[in-house]
Amino acid sequence: MQSDIDLGSVLEACNLSESQDTVTYVAGSVIFREGDRGDCAYIIESGEVRIVRDGEPEPYELARLGPGDLLGEMAPVDDQRRSASAVAAAETRLTPIPRQSIEALVDEADPMLRLLVRLLMHRLREQAGGGKVGEGTVDGDQPSDVRAALHSVREQALERVRARREISDALLRRELVLHFQPIVDIDRWEPRGFEALVRWAHPERGLVSPGGFIESAEKSGLINPIGQWCVRSACELLQALAASATFVSVNVSPEQLRTLDAVERLVGIVHDSGVDPSRVKIEITEHLLVDNPDVAVRGLKRVKDAGMTVAIDDFGTGYSSLSYLHRFPLDTLKLDRSFVDGLSESEQRFAVVEAIVRLGERLSMDVVAEGIERVEDLRTLESLGVSMVQGYLLGRPMPAERLRGWTVKLDRASALGRAAPRGLHVA
Ligand code: C2E
Ligand code: CA
Ligand code: CA
């Protein structure tokens, strides 16, 4: 039932072209020559590369590089000509990284890292005698502090390039899957909604949780195609579930609301799916509201105008600033697991949860409590008037195929002391 990834968006986000693949060089062939323009860098996938410089009476070798090494990155960063030649020492497979991707990486980098890269380039240039910049393999000529800093910058850049490639490959191979966790209405003892949670079905590592790749996806811009695919798949799920009272919650990263274009794409996906937009809830975190309030207001207003609802996730764990609450069009507060866990045993925790629940009531917002694992905590939440809950006690995240006809396995009479009225059923 899950929809296809938008290939164009993935390639666009990665700054890749469909033809970008690995290139194989036979032993002895020249990868680039000293004096060439540097249009790309390379990652060595397998084989060995010799870096040589012209010299009298004959060329001399500067370095040998192997799998995992980055090659030829300096000239494209600095817009200089190659200061050495690279020759395949054995059959060698390389992944080219075009100049635009490198420029984008430097531009996106943490300001400190960006400064470090520029500074290193400057020092290297001076050292190489005004203009003759090494190809990253001439570290032997440099003082050890420059060498160490260069090594660290190179490692970080390489790590990012690798992560970006891994995730884009995962998207193109359709290895991402969505699981859905029930959000249960404890008055009726039935699911009222489902939260969509992404997983990576990795061929070797098994099911990878979002903690292992969402941050890289956010940094590389790939979160947009991933997020669009999540929303499209969530809408397809809603179409397939007959019960019109159910909603789907989708986690949305700040990046997905940053530009009007990205917001319009989300709105367009929901519109095109034909589902009632009020059945789609987007979950955002406090970071978005605090880091960039004006952008957040603009994005959220558009989402609300399109008929969707908005939840604030992990409420109270971020900056704990309440000042933003009245500024934003929010419908739901999601009470973080850290407050819920052990609620029944801690007076402090009880006081915090009670205050948040009352705050939600006063602001006419729904409260959903997450991460419920224990019956005692569920009872305490019920006594505080929380009626929407989510947690392993009631149901774990599961593939879409298992949702049809899903019912809460826990017995309500033994959990809360009362049987459930007959109500909604997820057909
Ligand atoms: P979240 O939005 O706070 O999601 C709730 C997390 O708590 C999920 O972890 C869920 O499996 C877990 N959980 C639910 N009930 C319980 C419980 O009773 N006990 C415990 N210990 N954990 C419980 P998951 O799936 O690993 O997701 C982690 C985070 O990754 C999410 O936190 C969300 O911030 C992010 N994420 C997941 N899917 C997406 C996505 O499609 N897009 C974006 N941008 N972020 C996502
Ligand atoms: Ca969430
Ligand atoms: Ca949460």
Backbone dihedral region for residue 98 (phi beyond 0: left; psi -120 to 50: alpha; all else: beta)? beta
pLDDT given for residue 3 in this prediction: 64
Q: Tell me which of 91-95, 263-267, 301-305 is least confident.
A: 91-95
Question: Are 309 and 192 in a shared domain?
Answer: yes
Q: Which of the listed residues 112, 134, 160 is the one where a domain comes to its end? A: 160
The verdict on residue 150 lying in a domain is: yes
Atom 25 of ligand 1, residue of closest alpha carbon: 197
The string of pLDDT tens digits covering residues 6-18 is 656 655 655 444 3
More confident residue, 209 or 96: 209
197 lines ligand 1 (CB under 6 A): yes
231 lines ligand 1 (CB under 6 A): no
Question: Are 407 and 273 in a shared domain?
Answer: yes
Helix (H, G, I), strand (E, B) or coil at 41: strand
Question: Are 196 and 155 in a shared domain?
Answer: no
The verdict on residue 110 lying in a domain is: yes
More confident residue, 158 or 13: 158
Cβ burial, residue 68 (10 Å; 0-12/13-18/19+)? exposed
Residue with tokens 């890269």: 117
| In contact, 63 and 131? CB cutoff 8 Å | no
The string of pLDDT tens digits covering residues 77-86 is 777 788 889 9
Question: Are 211 and 112 in a shared domain?
Answer: no
More confident residue, 49 or 161: 49
pLDDT given for residue 306 in this prediction: 97
286 lines ligand 1 (CB under 6 A): no
23 C-alpha vs ligand 2 centroid, how far in Å?
Answer: 41
Report how far Cα 185 is from the mean position of its chain's Cα atoms.
Answer: 30
Choose which residue among 229, 251, 252 to substitute to test ligand 1 binding: the one with the highest number of ligand atoms within 8 A of its C-beta: 251
Give Dmax (Cα) for the chain.
Answer: 93
More confident residue, 228 or 219: 228
The verdict on residue 11 lying in a domain is: no
230 lines ligand 1 (CB under 6 A): yes
CATH assignment at residue 303? 3.20.20.450
Q: Which of the listed residues 115, 130, 160 is the one where a domain comes to its end? A: 160
The verdict on residue 60 lying in a domain is: yes
pLDDT given for residue 142 in this prediction: 53
How many structural domains does the chain have?
A: 2
- The stretch 170-197 carries a mean pLDDT of 93
Question: Are 149 and 273 in a shared domain?
Answer: no
Identify the bridge partners of residue 25 per DSSP, sorted by sequence position. 92
Atom 15 of ligand 1, residue of closest alpha carbon: 391
Question: Are 141 and 241 in a shared domain?
Answer: no
CATH assignment at residue 111? 2.60.120.10
Question: Are 111 and 228 in a shared domain?
Answer: no
Question: Are 255 and 374 in a shared domain?
Answer: yes
The verdict on residue 376 lying in a domain is: yes
Question: Are 262 and 116 in a shared domain?
Answer: no
Angle between helices 375-383 and 347-362 (to 10 degrees): 40
Q: Which of the listed residues 160, 190, 213 is the one where a domain comes to its end? A: 160
Cβ burial, residue 76 (10 Å; 0-12/13-18/19+)? buried
Residue 81 DSSP symbol: B
Q: Which domain holds residue 106?
A: 22-160
The verdict on residue 169 lying in a domain is: no
Mean pLDDT of the chain: 84
Question: Are 229 and 350 in a shared domain?
Answer: yes
Residue 52 DSSP symbol: E
The verdict on residue 16 lying in a domain is: no
379 C-alpha vs ligand 2 centroid, how far in Å?
Answer: 23
Tell me the two tokens of residue 232.
């499209």
Q: Which atom of ligand 1 is nearest to the CA of 223?
A: 44
Question: Are 325 and 378 in a shared domain?
Answer: yes
The verdict on residue 44 lying in a domain is: yes
- The stretch 37-64 carries a mean pLDDT of 85
Note the ligand closest to the C-alpha atom of 340: 1
Nearest to 181 by CA among 193, 194, 170, 192: 194
pLDDT given for residue 19 in this prediction: 39
Q: Tell me which of 138-147, 163-172, 274-283 is least confident.
A: 138-147
Question: Are 180 and 235 in a shared domain?
Answer: yes
Quick one: pLDDT band at residue 319, thresholds 50, 70, 90?
low
- The stretch 60-84 carries a mean pLDDT of 82
